[in-house]
Structures are given as structure tokens and as C-alpha cells.
A = this chain, B = another copy of it.
């Protein structure tokens, strides 16, 4: 009884790893469950003893990547210049994405509500939990920046919208394979650098009281 359990778990890891390899080699959309199973030396039916569906595999891989990234971010110490730390984190995130385009594609795919509602509740909650942790990370950093006097205190949510949107955009860009049909070749390093600047500028300058509008109930 013990041995079988061990073997079962081992197979699950093997399947996830194999699936990711296949996705990286041939594109996650094209790879079939049968191919993954064959590559792992396992019958197709067995895959469904471990995962409810192919999409469930997508979700687990996306979750693992997201968790690994978060773990990495949390090791970065917040110095005396939280906004610089934020820039550092942003660039770190972009580089992690660049190194793992397939995982980024999967993440984008799995974030869609339409996808999530098909998903088993357990995994859906895992996604939500991660979202919360990322929001927390951002808010902590923003608070630190306020405390250090780098920015004025203002509602954090609109700023998070901006940053989140920017991240979505970069993910879409990376998932799309960079600047495929762009006018001229684009260096991803330069792109990352400028986008990071754009974000920091947005945080500095966005939406305090510029002109019209009805928010600003800060504090």
C-alpha cells in the first residue's frame, strides 16, 4: 500500500514535467494528451487518474510557475528606496517571464474567468489565493514607499490597476513571442527597461488630482 502511493505521486510529478517539456517543444495548444502520456511512458487513460482534464494540467503548471515566481519575489529585500525595489521586482518579473514564455502563455490562458469556472474549485481557489498574495506584495511595497516619502499617500487600488494592466500587457507580448511583426527588431532588454520606467512614472504621476474626476478620498 505504501509503495503504490509513492509510485502514484511520482507519476504525477513525472506527468507534469513531461507535459511541460512537450508544451515547450511543440506548443501547448497542439500537444495532445496521448502524446504527453506516451512521452511519459504511461497510457492515456492513466493521465485521467491524476488530472480531471487536460485543462487541469494547464492550471497546475500555471500555478506552479506563479508560486515559484512569488517565492522568488519574496526573497528580494525591501531597502530604503521601495520604488527602486519595485523597479527591481518588475524587471525580475519580466526576466522570469522571458525565460518561461510557455508558462506565461499558460498563465494567461488560465486566468480567463471562462476557463476558471470550468476548473475544479480547489484549483480556482489556489489562483485566487495567489492573486491576493500578489496584491499584498504590491500594497506593502507601496506603503513602504509612502513611509519613505517617495510618493504621496493615495488610494492604492487605482495604482494597482495600472500596474496590473501593464503586467498583463507584457505577458501578452511575451506570450505572443515578442515583437514578431514589429517595424524593426526590438530588443527585449530595452523594452523591459522602458516599460518599467513607464510603470514607475505612472505610479508617480497618475491620477492624484490632475484635472477633473471624482476620487481622491485618500487617507
Contacts and interface: CB of A to CB of B under 8 A. Distances in A.
Interface in A162-193: 162, 164-173, 175-177, 180-181, 183, 186, 190-191, 193
A108 B172 contact: yes
A132 B182 CA distance: 9
B195 A114 contact: no
| Top 9 A-B pairs, shortest CB-CB distance | A201-B205, A165-B169, A169-B169, A162-B198, A113-B180, A168-B169, A158-B194, A197-B207, A198-B202
Nearest to A170: B165
B204 A205 contact: yes
A193 B166 contact: no
A118 to B, nearest CB: 11
A17 to B, nearest CB: 23
A75 interface: no
Contacts of A169: 164-170, 172
How often does this chain occur in the complex, in copies? 2
Contact of A208 (B29, B165, B190, B218): B218
A128 interface: yes
A111 interface: yes
A200 B213 contact: yes
Nearest to A192: B161
Contacts of A199: 202
Contact of A194 (B161, B191, B200, B217): B161
A4 interface: no
Contacts of A190: 158, 215
